[in-house]
A and B are shown apart, each in its own frame.
Chain A
Amino acid sequence: MNINSLLKLVPHMVDASLTTLNIFFLTLIFAVPLGFVICFGRMSKYKPVRKIVEFYLLIMRGTPLILQLIFFFYGVFPFFGLSLPRFWAAIFAFVLNYAAYFCEIFRSGLESMPRGQREAAAVLGFTKTQTFFRILLPQVIKRILPPMGSECMTLVKDTALAQVIGVAELFQLANSSVSREASIIPIFVAGVFYLLMNGIVSRCFSALEKRLNYYQ
């Protein structure tokens, strides 16, 4: 592969990275709130609700994401006579999958809160909702930042899986360039792109952690 075709490849890779970033941000936007809702189901005092959520978590975390992508796009949607564009089918699968992981991260954060915080708030007359949003949530966010950072970096890399249902993201482009150019270099270039994106993600989380470092 010569330098010219490499330079020509880069703008296409930037384009494809935008799709990757789209998957990344859309997944986060939907999966974080969904993870929260599921987390409440997971911690519900009603056993049937808990059992349903546990089953969902088992399926989502117990099977490969690549399989879930294929299953939703070629299985579930056609079965219901729906034809979702590839991109949105991918988002759908990513959101359901990542919400399961986020749910467990939120739960670990909530359950790690000392009981005394809830009790102190209750004794002062805070309602349950006030206690959650004013006292617990801010502290939980600080506690879950490190695992959330890891999960987000995994998500950046996992976007590459969207290619199995034909979403034209970064890795797919790199892969097709490899066959066209008969060179493995595009794969390495893609690697640099992923690394760059995750470098930024990691920086963002470090900055957030630093901002919340004013208390212990």
Chain B
Amino acid sequence: MNVLSVENLRKSFGDLEVIQDISFSLEHGEVLAIIGPSGSGKSTLLRCINLLEEVDGGKISICGEEMVSEVDGKVQYAPKEQLRAIRLKTGLVFQNYHLFPHFSVLRNITEAPVHVSNVPPAQAEKTAHELLDKMGLAEKADAYPCQLSGGQAQRVSIARAMAMHPEILFFDEPTSALDPELTGEILKVIKELAAEKMTMVIVTHEMAFAREVADRVIFMEHGVIVDQGPPEALFHSENPRTRAFLGNYYRI
């Protein structure tokens, strides 16, 4: 089943073309890693798919439902209600977590299910506790975000996204704000999700991780896809630009 399809996506900020012409698609249970130098448009791509930026052209469908398309060269978004429904099929984990500081950990996870999806509070809390258990944070349910380490906060933010039962989960550099030790915690959680056949798109600078967890890797630069393929193929790519970028990774 096709979960995500992106066709000829374009996005500019003023004169700067951040995304030039990007197309890819994703099947259910697939894990896609997007790598590339800073400023290559990776985060903007995720932000466009999650409706945080408006695209300038192209087509995005989620689970077969058209979110945005181009009609006679004009960008056309789906009606508001439909966009809301489509949005609930996606989840996004931010680099800096963006937990709600005034809510306890538990309420961070239950607030959206209860008030957006009208899940009964008792049921939402049960789900939240299960998710926290899975994240190894069972004892943190009543803590506040300011009392968590970076790794714990990021795991809570993953639980918060998972509580909405998304069809596809996006990660925008989920470990870039963390030290190597804490990075491991997050990568472990993402690996577990991959084992459960969660469809995921992960923008990351963790090359070893991308290689290990992804079914497919896209290498992006200057707003275009330079190279893509299964991790083993990409990490042994003949493409000179890919080799140069990954060369830096091998050197370390």
Quick check: is A83 within 8 A (CB to CB) of the other chain? Answer: no
How many interface residues does B have (CB within 8 Å)?
28
Residues 156-186 of B at the A interface (beta carbon under 8 Å): 157, 160-161, 164
A126 touches B116 (CB 8 A): yes
A114 partner residues in chain B, CB cutoff 8 A: 98
8 Å CB contact of A120 from B51, B94, B102, B115: B94
Quick check: is A139 within 8 A (CB to CB) of the other chain? Answer: yes
Q: Smallest Cβ distance from B203 to chain A, in angstroms?
A: 15
Kindly count the residue-residue contacts between A and B in the assembled complex, taking CB atoms under 8 Å apart.
59
What string of 1s and 0s marks CB contacts (under 8 Å) between A187-209 and chain B?
Answer: 00000000000000000000000
A120 touches B100 (CB 8 A): yes
Q: Smallest Cβ distance from A66 to chain B, in angstroms?
A: 40
Quick check: is B121 within 8 A (CB to CB) of the other chain? Answer: no
The A interface is mostly helix, strand or loop, or mixed, namely helix
B102 partner residues in chain A, CB cutoff 8 A: 138-139, 142, 215
Which of A116, A139, A215 has the most chain B CB atoms closer than 10 A to its own CB?
Answer: A215
Which stretch in B1-9, B33-41, B84-92, B211-219 binds the other chain? B84-92
Quick check: is B122 within 8 A (CB to CB) of the other chain? Answer: no
8 Å CB contact of A119 from B87, B98, B99, B115: B98
A120 partner residues in chain B, CB cutoff 8 A: 94, 98-100, 157
Q: Smallest Cβ distance from B71 to chain A, in angstroms?
A: 25
Chain B residue nearest to A124 (CB atoms) is B112
Quick check: is A44 within 8 A (CB to CB) of the other chain? Answer: no
A123 touches B50 (CB 8 A): yes
CA–CA, A130 and B98, complex, Å: 17
A134 touches B96 (CB 8 A): no
How many interface residues does A have (CB within 8 Å)?
20
8 Å CB contact of A117 from B51, B52, B100, B111: B100
B144 touches A122 (CB 8 A): no
What string of 1s and 0s marks CB contacts (under 8 Å) between A100-143 and chain B?
Answer: 00000000000000101101111111100010001100110010
B100 partner residues in chain A, CB cutoff 8 A: 117, 120-121, 135
Known: A120-B94, A124-B112, A125-B116. A216 touches B101 (CB 8 A): yes
A119 touches B52 (CB 8 A): yes
Quick check: is B25 within 8 A (CB to CB) of the other chain? Answer: no
A215 touches B144 (CB 8 A): yes
Known: A120-B100, A215-B101, A215-B145. A126 touches B94 (CB 8 A): no
B101 touches A139 (CB 8 A): yes
Q: List 7 A-B contacts (CB under 8 A).
A: A116-B98, A120-B98, A120-B99, A124-B116, A125-B112, A142-B102, A214-B144
Which residues from chain A sit less than 8 Å from chain B, CB to CB?
Answer: 114, 116-117, 119-126, 130, 134-135, 138-139, 142, 214-216
Q: Which 5 residue pairs across A and B have the least CB separation, nearest first?
A: A120-B98, A116-B98, A124-B112, A216-B146, A125-B116
Which residues from chain B sit less than 8 Å from chain A, CB to CB?
Answer: 50-52, 84, 87-88, 90-92, 94, 96, 98-102, 111-112, 115-117, 144-146, 157, 160-161, 164
Known: A119-B98, A130-B116. 16 other contacts (CB 8 A): A116-B94, A120-B98, A120-B99, A121-B100, A123-B161, A124-B111, A124-B112, A124-B116, A124-B164, A125-B84, A125-B112, A126-B112, A138-B102, A215-B101, A215-B144, A216-B144
